[in-house]
Structure 1
């Protein structure tokens, strides 16, 4: 498969953030950036994320009502020590 090259200029602060995330992922900056671009071009991934966002928007209130949430967003524990 033929490869195409993309050159992107970013501010130093943006680069520092990318560099930090790449290091945390155990990747070189170029490899990390290549993966980000590939992920954004992935239609199946995009559809999944849109569907997940839609689901969360539609059902968030119902989950909150049923399970509640503490200040950290976690469901409260039952008396048995198990989550609701």
Structure 2
């Protein structure tokens, strides 16, 4: 993907916070800002939902079997019975 340079002016406190957060995550400030924008625009959430849907599709039979067994015994998942 082609990159475009974007110059942004922020106060020193914001710049310091961005640097500290990026450093704590082990990524560049550029990548940190890029991830924040993606999260804000929903790309990260959409990616997560797509991955979760794919996981459920792959393991649908396993879940169906497990819940069928659970329903058949009268035991609810997570109720400790």
Normalising to structure 2: TM-score of the pair? 0.46
Answer 1 or 2: which has greater helix percent. 2
